[in-house]
Amino acid sequence: MKTIIVDDEESAVKVFLNEADKIPELEIVATFRNGIDALRYIEKNDIDLAVLDVNLDDTDGILLGNKIRNYIPDIMLIYITGYEDYAMDAIRLHAAAYLIKPYSTEELGYAVESARLLSKRKNKRIFARTFGHFDLFIDDKPIMFKSAKAKELLALLIDRQGGTVTTDQIIGTLWENRPNDVSTQNLCSKVGKTLEKELKYHGAGEILVSSRGVRRVDTDKFDCDLYNLLDGSKNAADSYIGEYMVEYSWAESRMALLEKYINL
């Protein structure tokens, strides 16, 4: 994550840089002693994360965070300060974290991970819900699939976490009681094309990748509760109540694995 630091205390900046060296997700691109210089930089550069002191010589850190959001609405903010007085203001600004000095590497790492996960969710309009019943949401609204089989095909591809799925594998899962003959292969091809059309119609065509009888989903294009859980998200783990794509019998094996994963 491309990161800037705004803190008027040289010693505090040195401490942060020392701790940041231990966190590979952070790419420190600039440090500033005042808000004016930071805003000038942000006007011309794309930044993922701003680490701000609450009390700066030339401005209030909370006010600076608001100004930064005017340039980069989706930027993540982390506040680091010696005082707890402004914590509620930071929360209202939807800051990713509010750290009190002195902080540990573990605390900073947790703050950065929170920022990364929040950024991931904010930047993606498309969300796949796999816990309970399967649904695909765009801007928080579920897609009403006309073809139930096309929806099931998408569920299968999402379950494979971006791995390629062949026509034979699709047939063996979605039509396990039918022979894998020309008729079934044509049916599979038709369902695949229907899925492509439905996703494109709803503005989500970019999540599907197809090539000569092989299909997959581009996991970078959407958010998914399953993926978040496997990435270690506590919120995703808390939202899992023992049900996974309950409408599809082939998903039962995944549910058993998730139970073991959560109970580790």
φ/ψ of residue 54, rounded to 5? -70, -40
Closest by CA to 51, choosing from 111, 120, 92, is 111
14: region left, alpha or beta (phi > 0 left; psi from -120 to 50 alpha): alpha
Q: What contacts 214, CB < 8 A, 6 or more positions away?
A: 164, 165, 166, 167
| pTM confidence score | 0.58
Q: Amino acid identity of 199? A: L
Give the span between the Cα atoms of 231 and 208, in whole angstroms: 22
User: What's the number of CA atoms in the CB half-sphere (13 Å) around residue 1?
Assistant: 27
| pLDDT in single tens digits along all 264 residues of the chain | 889 999 888 888 888 888 888 888 788 999 999 989 999 999 988 888 898 888 787 778 888 988 998 888 778 888 887 766 655 555 555 676 777 777 778 888 888 877 776 666 555 689 999 999 999 999 889 999 999 999 999 999 999 999 999 999 999 999 999 999 999 999 999 999 999 999 999 999 999 999 888 999 999 889 899 998 888 777 778 788 889 999 999 999 888 788 777 765
Please check whether residue 35 is in contact with residue 58, taking contact to mean a CB–CB distance below 8 angstroms: yes
